[in-house]
């Protein structure tokens, strides 16, 4: 069979306007010069090193496309050179052909195992050398393309993360300030989104000095879409918006209107929410819920009253009418609104922390300052799940009435 024709000497130049570079590392000047001359005739740019250490320096500085390396050299031998390259994150994708005067199978295996990509006998024919160099160059080119694509993805990922961080800061800017929101009413909260952006939001809606609304909403799903939908619902729930678009501060009426405006999405995403109105003159708390279970009052007496009403989440049935229930808030009572991400925290065996354990934790903390209670409860959930990161968004808003 006739030998396969070898491409002309100008192949490398044809592939690239700038010639590809080969680093030749060999302590024998005659071998080095001979190989270099052959490679130059093939159109490659050649740089030379007379030992492994100089070779490594050149590899770092010049980043050649291919390195042809002698096995036996004083100081650092070829396999050791390969090992150092593979351990260096900057160099590890370098293409290396290891060259030796002996081509014993064991030696070839050792060379490959220690980091060489290919093997070349010093007695190889001109055609074989050319073919192996070209094969190495093809691989080097492919790797460079992959590295460029990886770097591009990394750049885009970093840009996306910066955008997400910026969006997360915006979402957090929608949360209420902590402290007194009205004379005699103090709010403390915690917000721990499971990703950069969370789908939980809560806020207070002041209607004068003696009347306020407050809510906590939980968007199903995670990430950008629920966060945007939550921000949209939160905008709807602003005091001025409610005045113009609902014309009532009745929690049932507000949720009935929100239900029409925020239908179940095509992906099955929706909100659960609790909306309450607190009248400081009558101490009446009027509240309506849409499929939301995380709300209770911790009375100063120590008893805990859940504010749970079965109800369709928002958007499940746009004809649904939500109605409000009522209870009394006495001075010293504390109101807790939270998302299910806290009490549904799973233990390593999959058991959920549960509302009972959550309420026991709050009960145990008694009348400790609200600023201590909320972090302590979250810490207890973290101990339960044995990891810091919650799998779902966690939002807790505590409100204490002093008057």
Interacting residue ranges for another protein, rule: CB under 8 A: 218, 220-222, 264, 266-270, 272, 291, 293, 308, 310-313, 316-317, 340, 344, 350, 352, 354, 392
What does the alpha-carbon distance between residue 35 and residue 39 come to, in Å, rounded to a whole number?
6
For another protein, the closer of residues 230 and 249 by Cβ is 230
- Nearest distance in Å: CB 313, another protein: 6
For another protein, the closer of residues 77 and 344 by Cβ is 344
| Beta strands at 118-121 and 95-100: parallel, antiparallel or unpaired | parallel
For another protein, the closer of residues 124 and 264 by Cβ is 264
Are the C-beta atoms of residues 229 and 212 closer than 8 Å to each other?
no
CA dist list (Å): 360 to 8, 165, 338, 356, 380: 82, 35, 15, 6, 11
- Nearest distance in Å: CB 322, another protein: 11
Q: State residue 141 phi and psi, 5-degree precision.
A: -65, -45
- Nearest distance in Å: CB 168, another protein: 20
For another protein, the closer of residues 69 and 290 by Cβ is 290
For another protein, the closer of residues 106 and 266 by Cβ is 266
What does the alpha-carbon distance between residue 373 and residue 96 come to, in Å, rounded to a whole number?
62
What does the alpha-carbon distance between residue 381 and residue 343 come to, in Å, rounded to a whole number?
7
- Nearest distance in Å: CB 190, another protein: 20
- Nearest distance in Å: CB 185, another protein: 28
For another protein, the closer of residues 137 and 233 by Cβ is 233
Q: Residue 68: beta bridge partners?
A: 24, 97
- Nearest distance in Å: CB 102, another protein: 56
Concatenated DSSP letters of 120-145: EETT--HHHHHHHHHHHHHHHHHHHH
What does the alpha-carbon distance between residue 354 and residue 206 come to, in Å, rounded to a whole number?
32
Q: How many other CB atoms are found less than 10 A from the CB of residue 254?
A: 25
Give the length of the chain.
Answer: 403
């Amino acid at each position: 069979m006739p030998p396969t024709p070898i491409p002309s000497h100008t192949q490398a130049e044809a592939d690239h306007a700038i010639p590809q570079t080969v680093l030749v590392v060999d302590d024998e000047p005659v071998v080095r010069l001979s190989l270099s001359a052959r490679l130059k005739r093939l159109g490659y740019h050649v740089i030379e090193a007379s030992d492994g250490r100089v070779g490594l320096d050149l590899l770092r500085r010049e980043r050649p496309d291919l390195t042809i390396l002698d096995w036996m050299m004083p100081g650092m031998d070829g396999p050791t050179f390969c090992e150092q390259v593979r351990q260096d994150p900057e160099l590890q994708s370098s293409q290396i052909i290891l060259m030796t005067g002996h081509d014993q199978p064991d030696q070839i295996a050792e060379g490959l195992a220690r980091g060489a990509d290919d093997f070349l006998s010093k007695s190889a024919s001109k055609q074989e050398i050319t073919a192996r160099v070209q094969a190495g160059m093809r691989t080097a080119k492919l790797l460079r393309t992959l590295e460029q694509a990886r770097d591009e993805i990394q750049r885009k990922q970093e840009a996306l993360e910066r955008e997400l961080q910026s969006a997360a800061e915006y979402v957090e800017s929608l949360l209420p300030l902590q402290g007194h929101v009205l004379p005699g009413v103090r709010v403390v909260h915690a917000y721990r989104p499971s990703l950069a952006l969370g789908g939980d939001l809560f806020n207070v809606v002041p209607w004068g000095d003696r009347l306020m609304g407050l809510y906590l909403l939980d968007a199903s799903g995670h990430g950008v879409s629920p966060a945007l939908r939550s921000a949209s619902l939160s905008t709807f729930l602003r005091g001025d918006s409610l005045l113009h678009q609902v014309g009532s501060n009745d929690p049932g009426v507000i949720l009935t209107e929100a239900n029409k405006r925020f239908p179940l999405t095509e992906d099955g995403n929706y909100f659960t929410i609790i909306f309450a109105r607190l009248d400081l003159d009558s101490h009446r708390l009027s509240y309506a819920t849409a499929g939301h279970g995380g709300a209770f009052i911790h009375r100063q007496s120590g008893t805990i009253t859940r504010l749970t009403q079965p109800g369709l989440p928002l958007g499940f049935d746009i004809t649904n009418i939500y109605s409000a229930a009522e209870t009394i808030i006495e001075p010293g009572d504390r109101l807790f609104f939270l998302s299910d991400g806290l009490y549904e925290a799973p233990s390593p065996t999959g058991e959920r922390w549960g509302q009972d354990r959550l309420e026991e934790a709050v009960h145990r903390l008694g009348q400790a300052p609200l600023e201590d209670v909320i972090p302590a409860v979250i810490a207890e959930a973290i101990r339960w799940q044995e990891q810091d990161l919650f799998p779902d968004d966690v939002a807790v808003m505590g409100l204490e009435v002093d008057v």
